[in-house]
A and B are shown apart, each in its own frame.
Chain A
Amino acid sequence: MLRDMQPLAVLGDFREYHINLYGFGPRKVLVTDEEVAYPDGKLIVSRTDTRGIITHCNQSFVDMSGYQRESLIGTEHSILRHPDMPSAAFKSLWDDVEAGKIWHGYVKNLRRDGKFYWVYATVIPNVRNGRVEGYTSVRRKPSRTKIRESIALYKQLKAQEGSSWDGPED
């Protein structure tokens, strides 16, 4: 089970949430309103097994997450789950990749220090000898236009889920 986030790792004022991670149970997360810019020219790459456990991540993934590589490998990918993300977005992701399809979407990710960063993510099933053995996720830099559109959409989805969007709106 994922460890709760630690206040000592978070700089400045933060809000506390308890989110329920599908398949992994509850986790306390601490978030701030500070965004970290996506690094130009880089791709953030990770792979998981079919349960969503991280098996590989590149240096950009490590750098943007704020965690040590050793604490990422073997951990649930939902360690990046930000409470502003609606559950419906991840349901759509899992529905697509488990059906063998490619999924695309804009995702607000949570760092170890409570800050966030936006990505445009593409997730693809890793098919080996006809079987899905895991998933590769590649993120790239999204435009501000797409981020604003995603915030508007996710606010609606969260309202339908009975929660609210508490982060910055741009």
Chain B
Amino acid sequence: METTFQLTVSPDFTPERISGWYIYNTWLQRNLGLHFHLEMYDSFDAQRTAICQDEVDLIYANPFDASMLVREKGFRAVAYPVGVTDECVVVVPAGSSVQKIEDVQPNARVASTDDPDIQLVGMIMLEPADLSTSNVQSIVVDGYVLVAKALLKGEADVGFFLKDAWDGLSNPVRKQLRPLVTSQISDIHHVLLVGPRLMESAEDIQSLMLRMPEIEKGQGVLESLGFEGWAEVDQEDTEFMIDLMDTLKAR
């Protein structure tokens, strides 16, 4: 019986990219000659449970989870997307008296999704105001539209957005909000990682990703994902990013 591998995607994808990942899955199977099931988890907790139970074979992971996947689960990073960033935007309501990060006060209500790297980078950007998870009120919602809604309804004082999600909000919504600061980290990014059961195909997957724009329909699939292409990741690149994430997670 043919083995079915599981492909999954970091749950911080924006709704308009969901169809792109299904198209990618179809394209990948056709060009790799392997059978994949695409599982789109709706929360980071659900995805981590699946990873812990060794159900995942190929994952487009955020940098926060990449560390655990490589160091604890034996995954190998093969490529990262070109043309997308993992930056975080710290946003307040347009009429807020807060003009700079240092104006944000203790006990501020901070809205975010459960996206761990955006929560991490967002909190780092609040540090100059002497804020940490211990002296803010964290409000975790199910998506970036709900982060915007919490700000608009006066239920949150500050919101953290993935930059792509912030850029994707409608103009009328964005006009009622005001970005305070955008991270410019650039050394961290999502990565495509191959799990132990699929490891013998790692080179083929990497090669396929790098050649994607030249292969039939590859360019269209990339566009549906919002990527310009894939770039090669070697072991040292991955280790460096993990070290960097570890410095950010350390307290």
Q: Residues on A close to B: CB < 8 A?
A: 38-43, 45, 47, 56, 58, 60, 102, 104, 120, 122-124, 126, 128, 136-138, 140-146
Contact of A124 among B124, B184, B186, B250 (CB under 8 A): B250
Residue contact B243 to A136, C-beta cutoff 8 Å: yes
- Do the beta carbons of B124 and A140 come within 8 Å of each other? yes
The CA of A102 and the CA of B185, in the complex, are separated in Å by 20
- On whether the beta carbons of B250 and A102 are closer than 8 Å, the reply is yes
Asked if A128 and B240 make an inter-chain contact with CB atoms under 8 angstroms apart, the answer reads no
Which of B55-63, B125-133, B206-214, B220-228 lies at the interface?
Answer: B125-133
Instruction: Please name 13 further chain A to chain B contacts, defined as beta carbons within 8 Å, in addition to the given A41-B182, A124-B246, A138-B244, sorted by A numbering.
Output: A40-B125, A41-B181, A41-B183, A43-B248, A56-B240, A102-B246, A102-B250, A120-B127, A136-B243, A138-B247, A143-B102, A143-B130, A144-B102
Bound CA–CA A157/B163 (angstroms): 43
Residues in B whose Cβ lies below 8 Å from that of A124: 243, 246-247, 250
CA distance A55 to B248 in the complex (A): 20
Check A43 against B240 for contact (C-beta < 8 Å).
no
Cβ-defined partner of B181 (8 Å) among A40, A43, A140: A40
Question: Which residues of B does A touch, CB under 8 Å?
Answer: 101-102, 124-125, 127-130, 181-187, 239-240, 243-244, 246-248, 250
Among A40, A126, A136, the one with the most B-chain Cβ atoms within 10 Å of its Cβ is A40
Question: How far in angstroms is the closest Cβ of chain A from B176?
Answer: 22
Set of chain B residues within 8 Å of A126, measured between Cβ atoms: 239-240, 243
Q: Flag if A58 contacts B240 (CB, 8 Å).
A: no
Knowing A58-B187, A122-B250, A136-B247 touch, does A143 contact B181 (C-beta < 8 A)?
Answer: no
Is B127's CB under 8 angstroms from A141's CB? yes
The answer to whether A42 and B184 have CB atoms under 8 Å apart is yes
* Contact partners of B186 in chain A: CB under 8 A: 58
Known: A41-B183, A42-B184. A138 touches B248 (CB 8 A): yes
* Chain A positions within 8 Å of B125 at CB level: 40-41
Closest to B182 in A: A41
Q: Which of B127, B187, B240 contacts A140 (CB 8 A)?
A: B127
Q: A136-B243, A145-B130 are in contact. Are A42 and B185 (CB under 8 A)?
A: yes
Known A122-B247, A124-B243, A126-B243; contact A40-B127, beta-carbon cutoff 8 A = no
Question: Closest CB-CB distance, A12 to chain B, in whole Å?
Answer: 27
Q: Tell me the minimal C-beta distance from B69 to chain A in angstroms.
A: 17
